[in-house]
Amino acid sequence: MQDKVLAIITARGGSKRLPQKNIRLLGDAPLISWTIRAAQHSKHIDRLILSTDDPEAIQIAKKEGCDVPFVRPDALSGDHATSYDVVLHALQSLEEKYDWVVLLQPTSPFRTTEDIDRAIEFALSKNKDSVISVCESEKSHLMLFMRDEEGRLASPCGISIKDLNHTRSQDMPIPYEINGALYVVKTPWFIKNKCFFDDETLTYVMPRERSVNIDTEHDWKIAEAYLFNNKNEERKIK
């Protein structure tokens, strides 16, 4: 029997840093619509649902043809609710059981259907408990520092700061960061371990241009700049 995959888009109504971001227009569509449309074309997702407390987000989702089987309770809509709590609530609210759950946050609008399917396929082929998406970081972790109480440089990696004077940036190892676009986990493992990833988690690498994660107004402007540049490129091709 083929594994059943549930995809959950999480979009709470209250956002202090960027109010109403999930329903705000990015280009010609609300932010949440970008994720809905990408997920709807996936060949591996058996059911796509939205978890939200926001009536406007629900209206947009239903217009897009996305299933909204419940309204997220107030207790899971505040600043202290975690993604784990929200996904667990969704799983417990559905009668049907699923082998895998995919968390899709609407703050990653440029994640594509291909990204979703490749991450799921990677998880299925390796039979691992979880796969998360990452992208190359702009700075090597070796060039990130702490400051001690007196204001001096302190390396969090235990590497001699003096030695870094003679290390070229291009010779440093490539660091990766979690981009927040995709979390693919086995449902029983997720429920048991209460997390999306651990030391055994595999990574699906996405390019930085598809890894924009919108949490602030600055992030929003970056997303708009990507859209503007892509439209200009399309004009050149035509």
Question: Model confidence over 1-60: pLDDT tens digits?
Answer: 689 999 999 998 877 778 899 999 999 999 999 999 999 999 999 999 999 999 999 999
What is the mean pLDDT of the segment spanning 108-114?
A: 98
Q: Is the pLDDT of residue 238 over 90?
A: no
Tokens (6 digits) for 185:
């986990």
User: What's the confidence (pLDDT) of residue 231?
Assistant: 66
- Whole-number Å distance between alpha carbons of 108 and 105: 6
Give the residue from 213, 194, 207, 229 showing the smallest Cα distance to 87. Answer: 194
Length of the chain counted residue by residue: 238
> 112-148 burial, b if ≥16 CB within 10 A, otherwise e?
ebebbbbbbeebbeeebbbbbbbbeeeebebeeeeee
User: What's the confidence (pLDDT) of residue 237?
Assistant: 37
Question: Model confidence over 153-177: pLDDT tens digits?
Answer: 666 565 666 666 666 666 666 788 9
Q: Which residue has the higher pLDDT, 10 or 77?
A: 10
Domains of the chain: 5-137+175-237 (3.90.550.10), 138-173 (no CATH)
For residue 216, give the DSSP letter: S
Q: What is the 3-state secondary structure (H, E, C) of 10-49?
A: ECCCCCCCCCCHHHCEECCEEHHHHHHHHHHCCCCCCEEE
Q: Is the pLDDT of residue 236 over 60?
A: no
Question: Model confidence over 175-188: pLDDT tens digits?
Answer: 889 999 999 999 99
What is the mean pLDDT of the segment spanning 92-107?
A: 97
Q: Which residue has the higher pLDDT, 125 or 153?
A: 125
Q: Is the pLDDT of residue 146 over 80?
A: no
Mean pLDDT, the chain, integer: 89
